[in-house]
Structure 1
């Protein structure tokens, strides 16, 4: 079955031409075959863990022990971490959740320095991903299991049930992609995944008028994508005075925080829709679903969540703020054990044995800040994924940040890498201007350091324009 799970996971990442050629065949398969037995088992276990703390605690402990055994047996880096913290004679087959606090918190820097010693399998057998560096930090390359998507789908689809979504529903996807292989296309239909994919860059009113017709034609009831993109879509709908013939039932936000003003704009355009956001990480270390507005409950079968203060001590007082630390269970090839997510939150309820380790938090402040550029005509441009995720793209820069004070113009404020040259910065500027397609021009500003906020966070865009005017 693992081969089928790998194939299911690989489909999403396959080249566009191959995907288009096999999608019609996949779309003819029953949904039970498309998702598979592993998916169905995870959906049952997720539901069981939610109502049975004893089952949740037992399953979480079992998952932790399996991860620890793999890490200690196959990774020299993690073997050393456990030996230093717990002693070389410690039996990881008997590790308890409470033992985790004895391990040091793991950072991106630790994993960069460890290299392949942090892996439990050869890199060629894993999938290499990287964070985009969209807070201005250096992109972070990491590895995940090839078959993890099936398990992840189970948690995502479970979270979306809050909005009434079921796995056979059609979604309209508003994300940052252009249509690969056809840069002039604004949309594509993905039959195997039941997705209508829409380009959100730069997403003009004319684009939205077309998108409304496409959504109406397929009677789609769920919008999925970046909150900033969905909000912009709804702003254009209000300006156009358009409504859907088949009312939208639910909003399935991803990748960004969902703010109250965005909920208000979306509801003004679409009516009293349900929202089903979740919190997740590219590194697959943690997953939480929203259970009330801006309150999230972590799923311990996916990964164990901790909230610690700036000194690494557990946060136990409701209302207190801390850093989110995660130990992920659904991918073992590069274990993330007590991993510093760099995100912050306020505690609502600590995870304990009594509640099955289901910690609840509110006001999650992610490392990745959403934002907009304002184009030369006053149009909003969704900034998520505007810079490419390939670390090589920003070769020559160690940190960067965008600053905008005038429509259609922005500054790339950057700290040069040790081997960085002016030619690197000029190459980056030219590539971003080409991507902006006449809507934005960029000016370079080299600095010695970039300013941070009081909690060490740095906005992706230092946006100085009044967005209420655009």
Structure 2
């Protein structure tokens, strides 16, 4: 990958666009196969099922994935037998609580033993995410599960009238435009998906007029991507008193929580509809926001439940999110502790959907890192994707211009890891920020037991930065 990245970064812009399009063609084949369109048609009808039909479907799918894991996945077979479970312990959804919770640490240790013996690795797609804890997590996905997940995301878009293949602009963290590039174009094109790409490192005051001219010229139907990046763009546009003449009709965000003031700013600047969904790379569950502002569990894709439930009012309760995926039979995730918390409501939503209603996802509010250039960054997952020598890492900022990596090392950790992390920070976050390291036996949790991947002690009211 390093060689490919180096070749890409040093290639002419037209070659980079060609490489983006080649990648796009491969992704299009993987995401949007015939099964994708079959799922789309079915999902349009299933979203309005009655409660009993939803319950029966979820129970049946939970029984199937559990029995599949019990009989074909060595890790689960051993785990469930040790817990005293049989092949058929689930008679209703409440019986799911009999199944031991799956923690991230178990996946990191046993992920190769979590692959179903009915699937060879050649038929699976390797995936990796750092999650919210700054620790690499490896897993596999099937083509079916990937297509299913994209069908869910496109169901949301089509509810607003977006058509498959409409021109879009994606705001991403991954570098498609080399960070050292100082002149436009600050975007690349993925022709097979009719998708244009920008990364966060070039969204600065001095570049905003180039972006506005480009957006006005291209007339995108929708934007997608990280809400914090789209918000940063809109905040700069607004603060400079500029106007986007041809804004998109819609903005769809994901991967991070869309905050209320982010949404307001984006709507003011772009004069368009802004919405989001809740999901995670592991693909064991999803929840989509309806037009009335509530999230609805996408029950077709997985079962979301609460752990350590706390009753807040007569009609609301909160708890940790556990997810059981129904689509990925290659490497199942069963009662997986996602690491987020949510607030649920038992009241009916006026949108007409009968799936479980989530009124807030509470667990994705990380602090920001403020760069010397005045940008705020809370996307840090790319820093840790190939650093398995780190058990845990917390990024701390005590003062402007510096960040500290608080690290719990694994035995194989070396000084190379320090150098590698510094290079990544300078490439992806800021070329001028100072990086230091602090090694600890453990990283303390919050009073509620939550791990915080980013902690900032900066008084944001005393400085001029782009913030939420």
Query: Residue 7 of structure 1 corresponds to which residue in structure 2?
Result: none
Relative to structure 1, is the Cα distance of residues 364 and 411 closer, same or farther in structure 2, using a 3 angstrom cutoff?
same
Query: Unaligned regions of 5+ residues in structure 1, if any?
Result: 1-14
What aligned pairs does 1:210-249 form with structure 2 within 5 A after superposition?
210-249=210-249
Following superposition, the deviation at residue 448 of structure 1 comes to 3.6
What is the Cα deviation at residue 178 of structure 1? 1.2
Is the 8 Å Cα contact of residues 160 and 277 (structure 1) preserved in structure 2?
no
Whole-angstrom CA distance in 2 between matches of 1:198 and 1:95 = 49
Taking the aligned partners of 2:27 and 2:306, their CA distance within structure 1 comes to 42
Q: Tell me what 2:11 maps to.
A: none
Query: Do the aligned residues in 2 keep the contact of 1:315 with 1:322 (CA within 8 Å)?
Result: no
Q: Paired residue for 1:432, among 425, 428, 431? A: 425
CA contact (8 A) 1:286 1:326 kept: yes
SS of 1:192's partner is: helix
Deviations 1:69-120 (A, max 9, x none): 42223112223444455754x448x854343222111112233343433211
Aligned length: 439
2:192 match: secondary structure = coil
Task: Tell me, yes or no, if the aligned pair for 2:244 and 2:269 is still in contact at 8 Å.
Answer: no
What is the aligned partner in structure 2 of residue 110 from structure 1? 106
Choose the corresponding residue for 2:454, options 457, 461, 469. Answer: 461
Question: Contact 2:177–2:186 at 8 Å: present in 1 too?
Answer: no
Determine if contact 2:369/2:377 at 8 Å carries over to the other structure. Answer: yes
Structure 1 CA distance, aligned partners of 2:72 and 2:301? Answer: 21
Distance between the aligned counterparts of 2:418 and 2:227, measured in 1?
30
CA-CA distance at 1:224 after TM superposition: 0.8
CA shift at 1:376, angstroms? 1.9
Flag the 1:243–1:347 CA change in 2: closer, same or farther, 3 A. Answer: same
Q: CA RMSD in A?
A: 3.4
1:30-85 deviations in whole A, cap 9, x for unaligned?
xxx99454223222322222222244334334433432342223112223444455
SS in 1 for 2:322: strand
Matched, 1:348 2:345: yes
Aligned equivalent of 1:327, options 303, 324, 329: 324
SS at match of 1:309: strand
Distance in 1 between residues matched to 2:230 and 2:300, nearest whole Å: 30
Equivalent residues of 1:202, 1:382 under 8 A apart: no
Assess, with a 3 A threshold, how the Cα gap between structure 1 residues 419 and 99 changes in structure 2: closer, same or farther.
same
- Structure 2, unaligned runs of 5 or more: 1-15
Tell me what 1:12 maps to: none
Residues 317 and 235 of structure 1, relative CA distance in 2, 3 Å threshold: same
**Equivalence for 1:384:** 379
TM-score scaled by length of structure 2? 0.82
Q: Distance in 1 between matches of 2:113 and 2:382?
A: 30
- CA deviation after TM superposition for structure 1 residue 456, in Å: 2.1
- Residue 97 (structure 2) pairs with residue 97 (structure 1): no
Partner of 2:289: 290
Which residue number in structure 2 is paired with residue 4 of structure 1? none
Q: Distance in 2 between matches of 1:34 and 1:460?
A: 31
